[in-house]
């Protein structure tokens, strides 16, 4: 049972345009959401997060939107740059105080010049 | 930099042999985690630890054991490696009870022939 889903395995975007990565979750008990970025042969690095009490969080070119009623979050990158080409994972936490994250399958973002 | 090292970084072994992967942290955090990353599955939790000698299972713990005899080291053991355990293994730490953000090590690529 996949509690966190990223339904797009890959996404290709033109440099300078907006990249939108999507993530859906099934468990309404999740109350904290994170995005990680992963380059080949490196560990995932934390990018941005959002608490369920908010619907938007912004950090420079990166903005995460949370729609609790739809159980959906998205990561917007604008403008997209070649260095943004990576695999992006969304993750969720908060169920019953468990100190764990549940990850989606990942989306490979490619920024084309 | 989360002060996490993993060793070895690459390993090739044969089916049926025991394998131990090491995660070392320099910041004395209580929470440590082992994940595996496979195409189409994202990051899946194998085991985690919430203190010396305190460990618990994740979603894919079968065939794996862990030990934590010192705060700084978290060992993952494959008692008898199988080809299905070919994967990239990541260690992570969490900086305290009040945060959900995890920080990852560089990974170990394990191939079981």
What is the percentage of chain A residues whose pLDDT exceeds 70? 96
Using CB atoms within 10 Å of the CB of residue B30, give its burial: 0 to 12 exposed, 13 to 18 middle, 19+ buried.
Answer: middle
Q: How confident is the model at residue B98 (pLDDT cuts 50, 70, 90)?
A: confident
pLDDT digits (tens, 9 = 90+) for B15-67: 999 999 999 999 999 999 999 999 889 999 999 999 999 999 999 999 999 99
User: Average of pLDDT values for A22-43?
Assistant: 95
Q: Residue A96: is its pLDDT beyond 80?
A: no
What single string gives the DSSP state of each residue in B39-100? TTTEEEEEEEEEETTEEEE-TT-TTEEEEEEETTEEEEEESS--GGG-EEEEEEEE--TT--
pLDDT digits (tens, 9 = 90+) for A37-91: 999 999 999 999 999 999 999 999 999 999 999 999 999 999 999 999 999 999 9
> Across the interface, do A43 and B44 touch by the CB < 8 Å criterion?
no
Question: How many A/B residue pairs have CB atoms within 8 Å?
Answer: 54
User: Average of pLDDT values for B3-9?
Assistant: 96
Tell me, what's the pLDDT at B40? 87
User: Average of pLDDT values for B89-111?
Assistant: 92
> Across the interface, do A89 and B42 touch by the CB < 8 Å criterion?
yes
> Across the interface, do B100 and A101 touch by the CB < 8 Å criterion?
yes
Tell me, what's the pLDDT at B1? 65
Residue B42: CA count within 13 A, CB half-sphere: 27
CA distance A69 to chain B (A): 22
> Across the interface, do B102 and A32 touch by the CB < 8 Å criterion?
no
């Amino acid at each position: 049972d996949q509690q966190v889903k990223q339904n797009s395995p890959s996404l290709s975007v033109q440099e300078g345009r907006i990249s939108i990565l999507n993530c859906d979750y099934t468990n309404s008990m999740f109350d904290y959401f994170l995005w990680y970025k992963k380059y080949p042969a490196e560990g995932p690095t934390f990018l941005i997060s959002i608490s369920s009490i908010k619907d938007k969080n912004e950090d420079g070119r990166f903005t995460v939107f949370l729609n609790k009623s739809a159980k959906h979050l998205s990561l917007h990158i604008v403008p997209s740059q070649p260095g943004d080409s990576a695999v992006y994972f969304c993750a969720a936490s908060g169920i019953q105080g468990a100190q764990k994250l549940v990850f989606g399958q990942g989306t490979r973002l490619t920024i084309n010049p | 930099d989360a002060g996490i090292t993993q060793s070895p970084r690459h390993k090739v072994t044969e089916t049926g042999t025991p394998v131990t992967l090491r995660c070392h942290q320099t910041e004395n955090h209580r929470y440590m985690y082992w994940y595996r990353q496979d195409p189409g599955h994202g990051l899946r939790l194998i085991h985690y630890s919430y203190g010396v000698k305190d460990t618990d299972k994740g979603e894919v713990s079968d065939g794996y054991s862990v030990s934590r005899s010192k705060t700084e080291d978290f060992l993952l053991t494959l008692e008898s490696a199988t080809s299905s355990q070919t994967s990239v293994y990541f260690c992570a730490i969490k900086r305290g009870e009040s945060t959900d953000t995890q920080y990852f090590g560089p990974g170990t690529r394990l191939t079981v022939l």
